[in-house]
Structure 1
Amino acid sequence: MKKLSLFVYSGLGIFTICFLFLCCKPIEKTKLSTVEKKEQLISDKLKWSERMALSIMKRHVNAWQIDDHAKPKWDYKIGMILTAYEKLYAQTKDPKYFAYIKDYADKLIDSTGSFQNFNPKDYNIDFINAGKILFGLYDKTKEEKYLKALQTLRNQFVDYPRTTSGGFWHKSIYPNQMWLDGLYMGQPFYARYTTAFENGEKLDDVAHQFELLRHHAYDKSTGLFFHAWDESKMMPWANKETGTAPHIWLRALGWYGMALVDVLDYFPKEHPKQKELVAYLNELANGVSKYQDASGLWYQVPNLPNREGNYLEASGSSMLVYAIAKGVNKGYLPKAMNKVALKGFDGLTSKLIKVDSNGEIHITQVCGSAGLGGNPYRDGSFEYYMSEKIKVDNSHGLGAFLLAAIELDK
């Protein structure tokens, strides 16, 4: 009987231990899930720049996946985003931001410094922009492949096709055309390279690109700039007398403004073209401030705010905020102009930024893409600019918002 009792008690003991073990496991798992969930929260105590940077990294573990790319691509928009991550890394010293940049470059550039899927004869000025991240990578690591890649991009300008007046074509498929977009894509890289490796000998050439578009694309009646200029005046979208595109596009103004403040980083005050570029920046800031909506934002076609279908657009608004804020911080623009930048940023965060319950943030009302010519043909009409898809978290908006937030230190 004692043996039986002992057996029963032993069985009960084993049963109890097993029961407790099994019961405890899901409780432990639940606790772990809660901890993991907390770790995924993005704090609203962080600055807007880090909140956005962490949100992007949460959605896209690898930078090449931004915009839901199916495979890695050397991309001008991702390049803009990663230049913002460079600034964040300089500010915070957080190694994850540097790693995010480096991983992208290493995915697209092999050990010899060659780019994936690059044909130099494509002459696509968009391809240059992401090259700006290579300066910092080379400075920090001294890896020869980054220098080789920088040299490859610099060599594009040696025989890059130009208008007869000396302006870089936007792409080989857009002959004789200069777009405001192209100034941002090529000139900050060109200016930095020639300053770092050539004693600035090509800075006059950099300035000349701005001079041409200031002369040909500026609209005196609005104080703004048309999207593009066709020197040949042969494109169906081009004005037959001036060669300009038919409309002013907000993001093109943003590209122009960002290009100006970024190339000025490499123009010494004593350079004969420096004051000219500063004057262009003041002209732009004064022009766009007249078209700033009460919300602080700007319209997709900024000089036609009341036309049906027009909307407040996030990427161009962010770009102008960045350009004006940096212009003030660098002393190129009067301090009073900072009110325009602050009003614009407040408009972005109150009207166009959405926050999830986990703290992840999104930017809305971003024009997906816009251009001129091509196939299918884009005629530059007001209706065309309204027809392009309006997206959430499109990379144009992500990068520009990051830059604006960092510059304002918000």
Structure 2
Amino acid sequence: MYENIDAYIDSLLKGSTPDKPLWNIESIRQGKPAHWNYIDGCMMTALLNFAEITGDKKYSDFVCDFIDYYVGDDGSILGYSKDKYNLDDINEGRVLFDLYDMTGKEKYLKAIERLHAQIAEQPRTNTGNFWHKQIYPNQIWLDGIYMAQVFYVRYQLKNGGDISDTLSQIKNVRKYMFSEEKGLCYHGMDCSKSAFWADKQTGLSKNFWLRAIGWFTVALADIIAYTDGSDREEFISVFRDVIKGISQYADPETGMYYQVVDCGGREGNYLETSGSSMIAYAMLKGARLGVIDESYAALGRKTFDGICKKYLTVSENGELHLGGICLVAGLGPEDNKRRDGSYEYYISEPVVENDAKGVAPFLLCYTEVLRTQKN
């Protein structure tokens, strides 16, 4: 079943350059110039994991060449602006730690400090959490936990080891954004309760978007892998709650999850690739680390196999494609009332093939499958 995956990844790399990667469908559609972004960052993270598990240097070499296009000798970053205070822009920085360890290039350390300067000044909500972006004041999004906190933890562990700020922010998500009834986290929360999409009593968004929950589970799995000590146990506690909650919504046949998680079977809803891959990766990794029950590894494997069967297809000309990927979803801003967090909104966003928001977690999940086969 998996024999085509390596060829699929290689075909994406072969057709991509740092300024025009095939997997960044958003940039292609919008005609954006080359810029530092989380979509490429997800792909670079996945490729480094793939290089580690396969032992094939061509993947890490690709990442080095790709990142070198964006990071100057002085640590400047092409297309990056601190003043946007956009947590998404921190995400790609996590690979800089690995590239520095691999190459010793000082420019990677300089770029790390440049990104950390944003973290140090990032505006915060009244709970102490980072604003998701400057254009989303007072808002916590699950997405942002993945985008910033893994980098933040890695930075702190390299510079003194105090990760209490990250732990506090994640515990706030568990406290304010987790539904005990559903076992799921809401996509976003406006701590000022003034955004048009926010509940006026709680500040919460209306629904449970799969990929947002996926981002959160991946962030927790990755952070746990980097940490030890008492802090780690508290991260694990949150991770277990979230994994237990999402697992009850797995599609019995495929093991996948729906775009709007708790509305399986509702008209327009669909089994979505990116979030399903993220959940499967987190389950496989969490079980491998011994922090969740081994039964979750079997569920994660079922999800991965379900994605392969349903959405990894071969076209008439022999090209491989990974489908079922929600292109993008968000909440607002104020001048975009369509993004209101409703069920109808989430199912209205384009569904595409080969976008890195699906490809990268799919590849990460594949690396976890390969790890289990090696053991």
Question: Taking structure 1 as the reference length, what is the TM-score of the superposition?
Answer: 0.85
Give the one of 9, 12, 34 matched to 1:72: 34
Alpha carbons 2:50, 2:364 under 8 Å: kept: no
RMSD between aligned alpha carbons? Answer: 1.7
Give the one of 134, 147, 155 matched to 1:193: 155
Q: Where in structure 2 are the equivalents of 1:282-321 lying within 5 Å?
A: 282-294=240-252, 295-321=254-280
Q: Secondary structure at the match of 1:158?
A: helix
Q: Secondary structure at the match of 2:261?
A: coil
Q: Secondary structure at the match of 1:157?
A: helix
1:106 equivalenced with 2:68 (yes/no):
yes
One-letter amino acid of the structure 2 residue matched with residue 387 of structure 1: S
Q: Where in structure 2 are the equivalents of 1:24-39 lying within 5 Å?
A: none
Q: Secondary structure at the match of 1:308?
A: coil
Give 5+ residue unaligned stretches, structure 1: 1-43
| Other-structure match for 1:38 | none
Q: Secondary structure at the match of 1:323?
A: helix
One-letter amino acid of the structure 2 residue matched with residue 238 of structure 1: A
**Would the alpha carbon gap of residues 359 and 188 (structure 1) be closer, same or farther in structure 2, given more than 3 Å must change?**
farther
| Other-structure match for 2:354 | 393
Alpha carbons 1:64, 1:104 under 8 Å: kept: no
1:352-379 per-residue CA deviation (whole Å, 9 max, x = no partner) reads 1112467643111110000001242211
Give 5+ residue unaligned stretches, structure 2: none
Give the one of 232, 237, 257 matched to 1:274: 232
1:84-125 per-residue CA deviation (whole Å, 9 max, x = no partner) reads 111121223322212211121111111211012222111000
Alpha carbons 2:257, 2:271 under 8 Å: kept: yes
One-letter amino acid of the structure 1 residue matched with residue 191 of structure 2: E
1:284-322 per-residue CA deviation (whole Å, 9 max, x = no partner) reads 111111100022111000101121110111100000000
| Other-structure match for 2:83 | 121
Alpha carbons 2:257, 2:272 under 8 Å: kept: yes
| Other-structure match for 1:322 | 281
Alpha carbons 1:53, 1:85 under 8 Å: kept: no
One-letter amino acid of the structure 1 residue matched with residue 177 of structure 2: A
**Would the alpha carbon gap of residues 367 and 61 (structure 1) be closer, same or farther in structure 2, given more than 3 Å must change?**
same
1:369 equivalenced with 2:331 (yes/no):
no
State the identity as a percent: 38
1:136 equivalenced with 2:98 (yes/no):
yes
Q: Which runs of 4+ in 1 moved over 3 A?
A: 44-48, 61-64, 68-71, 356-360
- Counterpart CA distance in 2 for 1:99 and 1:150 is 20
| Other-structure match for 1:53 | 9
Q: Give the CA deviation at 1:55.
A: 2.6
- Counterpart CA distance in 2 for 1:59 and 1:278 is 40
Q: Give the CA deviation at 1:74.
A: 0.8
- Counterpart CA distance in 2 for 1:58 and 1:311 is 31
Alpha carbons 1:126, 1:186 under 8 Å: kept: yes
Q: Give the CA deviation at 1:250.
A: 0.4
Alpha carbons 2:273, 2:324 under 8 Å: kept: yes
Larger Rg: 1
Alpha carbons 1:248, 1:302 under 8 Å: kept: yes
